[in-house]
Structure 1
Amino acid sequence: MARYGKEHKEQTRRRIVETAGRRFKQDGIDGSGVSTLMADAGLTNGAFYAHFASKEDLVATAIADQLRAQNASVAAQAAPGRAGLEQIVRLYLSVQHRDSPGEGCPNAALLDEIGRCADATRQAYTDGVLSLIDGIAARIAPDDPSSARVKALSLLALLAGTLQLSRALADRRLADELLEQGISNALELLGVEQPA
């Protein structure tokens, strides 16, 4: 039997985590069995336990990975400081983001399920969200980010809730209007002047 090196094992684990993150956001945690997750990664079920102790272990790892990626994406796509806040809001509440849950934010896609997960997953989620929130708070109040932490959490709640509701509505026009109103509400929360 051929043995694989450490690098191969790390690449395989990374592939499982990335494909699981997309699948979880697309089909939900409960709707994604180990067989499907491993098939997505091009691996057999037997290979799963060489990388993870349980599905819950994979869920916690994938959630943390998805939030790290979201944080990096926000930093890469939005201008620094307050100037980037409007960009973040508009990117988050875009039709493209709404219509691509597998490629989007884990908050809007998985929030209801994460609340029912084991403590390790909820802690991985909390750690990832706090990192994201700290980045947003630093944009809101660069001189005193801790003073803007609750506002940043409120912004995330507004964004994720608006996106979730927009995804759930069958009336496409109403769903689009909701995104636009969400943008307006978020910018008002942030004190960003909007054209009349």
Structure 2
Amino acid sequence: MRYPDSHKAQTRRRIVAMAALRFRAEGLAGVGIANLMADLGLTHGGFYAHFSGKDELVAAACGEAQRQMAEQWRPLLENSADGGCLAALADHYLSPAHRDFPDSGCAAAALAGEIARQDAGVRRAFAAGLGPLLAQLEDARRRDGAGPSPEASLAMMVGALLLARAVPDAELSQRFLDEARAALRAQGE
């Protein structure tokens, strides 16, 4: 049976989307290629028709996860009044839902520690994926007329989310989210 020309590209997109979800949920080391492909109803050997190895998949999945985060932020920025843009992004990012469901959230908060130990190509792809988020944070700062640098905003949000996920104390976890959100709101005013 011959597949249509678009089949290979569609299959690659499915693999990348599933990997983006699974890597954020389980970590890079927690996801094996054979299991990932089996979950998609594909063969382990078929993986190599799309990727040279796991590093290439990690790079693509990080880019996809960051693209998804930027897409989540897009309507928040579009629907925010000037003066409330950074607050809208911080409220979304520093939410209990984002803390509790890393599989659909930001790859930086879910994977940065592991990405730091990857080869330079994976780290470059990860950094490139941050570009749209930093651009959106710069747009928020411009529209708000004040606020921290995009890098400082992203670092505060990612750090607070990482800590909120790491601690077993529910009250402390919530304080990390609340205090970072309040600090970003105050700096954006």
SS of the residue 1:90 aligns to: helix
1:52 counterpart = 2:51: yes
Q: Which amino acid aligns with 2:155?
A: A
Q: Which runs of 5+ in 1 are unaligned?
A: none
Q: Which runs of 5+ in 2 are unaligned?
A: none
Runs of 4 or more above 4 Å deviation: none
SS of the residue 1:141 aligns to: helix
TM-score by length of 2: 0.91
Larger RCO, structures 1/2 (Cα 8 Å, 6+ apart): 2
Q: Kindly report which structure 2 residues correspond to 1:22-37, keeping only aligned pairs within 5 A, or say none.
A: 22-37=21-36
CA distance in 2, matches of 1:152, 1:62: 23
TM-score by length of 1: 0.88
Of 72-81 and 17-26, the range deviating more from structure 2: 72-81
Spell out, residue by residue over 1:7-42, the C-alpha distance to the aligned partner (whole angstroms, 9 max, x if none).
Answer: 111111111000000000001112111112212322
SS of the residue 2:136 aligns to: helix
2:149 pairs with 133, 148, 151, which one? Answer: 151
Q: Which amino acid aligns with 2:62?
A: I
Q: Kindly report which structure 2 residues correspond to 1:178-193, keeping only aligned pairs within 5 A, or say none.
A: 178-190=176-188, 192=189
Spell out, residue by residue over 1:121-171, the C-alpha distance to the aligned partner (whole angstroms, 9 max, x if none).
Answer: 111111111221012112202599xx98x7111110100110010001111
CA contact (8 A) 1:155 1:189 kept: no
Q: Kindly report which structure 2 residues correspond to 1:96-111, keeping only aligned pairs within 5 A, or say none.
A: 96-111=97-112
Aligned length: 187
CA RMSD in angstroms, aligned pairs only? 2.0
Residue in structure 2 matched with residue 132 of structure 1 by the alignment: 133
Residue in structure 1 matched with residue 166 of structure 2 by the alignment: 168
Percentage of matched positions with identical amino acids: 36
CA contact (8 A) 2:19 2:61 kept: yes
